Structure 1
Amino acid sequence: MTAVDDRPRTTGIVKVFENLDVPEGFKVELLRGVIVMTAGPDVAHNDIVEAVQDQIPRQRWRRLQTQDIAILEETSQPQPDLVVLERGAGPGHGRLMPSEVITLLVEVVSKTSMDRDYMVKRSIYAAAKIPAYFIIDPVMAQCVLLTEPVGHGEDADYRRQRITKFGDLTPMEPLDLDLDLDTSEFAAYENVRPHRYP
């Protein structure tokens, strides 16, 4: 089991971030030294997270929502929509989960998070060597599974990318999850301008 200091020894922005008084209904993350505060998610967003969580077998995997991640080398403490790690791995208490024990991170794109989810977090998670990053995008009604992280810092990325449309089964075999994720319940956002990611 890997342990992590619940209070990183970094000074400056990390201390400011950890002492923020966050208004109820907001989410705050530290992404490469930048504090990002966002409003609570759309109901469709939460339904998607629940649908994914329900399909990942609890007997083998811990499926954690609103879990802060410790990525100290990146001066980052993101809070993905869903964190998946093997049952028995990671600490059983504390605010931060060490990135080294994580198998999969899931982010559901919001109407304002496209750049963060597709660019900033993609690079941060790859730099942290998270084996798989799964982006669920209700704006474009697609899923993007990223695997095989390579590189360091802002140049880090994932070598493999698989895109599937909502309604298609999404194979999760790179994670040894032995399942095809059913995306038929995923709802697309309405009246949102399309983007060009990934």
Structure 2
Amino acid sequence: MSALTIDCSEGPSAEWDELVRIWEETDAPEGCKVEIIEGIITVSPAPANKHNVIAGKLQRALYTVIPEDWGIYQTLAVSVPSRSGLFIPDLVVAPESELVELSESEQYIPAAAATFIAEITSKSSLRHDRVSKPAAFAHAGASLYLLIDRWANGGPTVTLYGEPKDDVYRVLQAGKFGDAIHLPAPFDLVIDTGPFPG
């Protein structure tokens, strides 16, 4: 297998445009997720059943508190060009206007436009979900990042990050599956993680 090499001689914007073009043209198997993480195009397998159950439960809870003109998306790409990242989080909450204003050819929103981003770890995504993605989302100024880590040492955990500053989030709350996690305003929602399958 060979590595993808991008010619950066035309500057960072040209490099980003080339990465996005390749991302758009990547033909991955159905259900797989294609992302740009730290400048590398990655393909992840479709999530496992327990992963999907958690995403469904979280999405159902969020729908009870979001405004009518917001949406919850499981396949929405968010970009952080300054960190060479284009991600497809497990859940993104964003105003519908952020999507409606895009042209037909635009397939992603800026990460800063997301009100809430959630990732549920898979064995293949541990480092990215725990390190690369929160650093990029904090850099972009995305308000809240929820990491649901089914593969944490000592058992499954849930960590809510917020107040991004200098590429770092502050931990707002952390616990194990079974603990309640409170999402602050604009959600003001308590998420019961007890029903999450480990």
TM over 0.5: yes
Equivalenced residue count is 175
CA displacement 1:38-83 (0-9 Å, x = unmatched):
1110100000000000001355141111111122222211000000
| Separation in structure 1 between the aligned mates of residue 171 and residue 162 of structure 2, nearest angstrom | 5
1:185 paired with 2:195, answer yes
Cα offset, 1:147, TM superposition: 0.6
| Separation in structure 1 between the aligned mates of residue 47 and residue 99 of structure 2, nearest angstrom | 27
Indicate the RMSD between aligned Cα atoms, in angstroms: 1.8
1:160 paired with 2:168, answer no
Q: 1:37 corresponds to which residue? A: 43
SS at match of 2:124: coil
Ranges of 4+ aligned residues in structure 1 off by more than 3 Å: 8-11
Give the structure with the higher percent helix: 2
SS at match of 2:85: coil
CA displacement 1:88-144 (0-9 Å, x = unmatched):
441226421222321110000112211111111111111111111000111231100
Identify the structure with bigger relative contact order (alpha carbons < 8 Å, sequence gap 6+): 1
For structure 2, the 5+ residue unaligned runs are: 1-12
**TM-score, normalised with respect to structure 1:** 0.81
**TM-score, normalised with respect to structure 2:** 0.81
1:116 paired with 2:128, answer yes
Q: 2:58 corresponds to which residue? A: 52
Question: Which letter maps to 2:99?
Answer: P
Percent sequence identity over aligned pairs: 29
For structure 1, the 5+ residue unaligned runs are: 1-7, 189-198
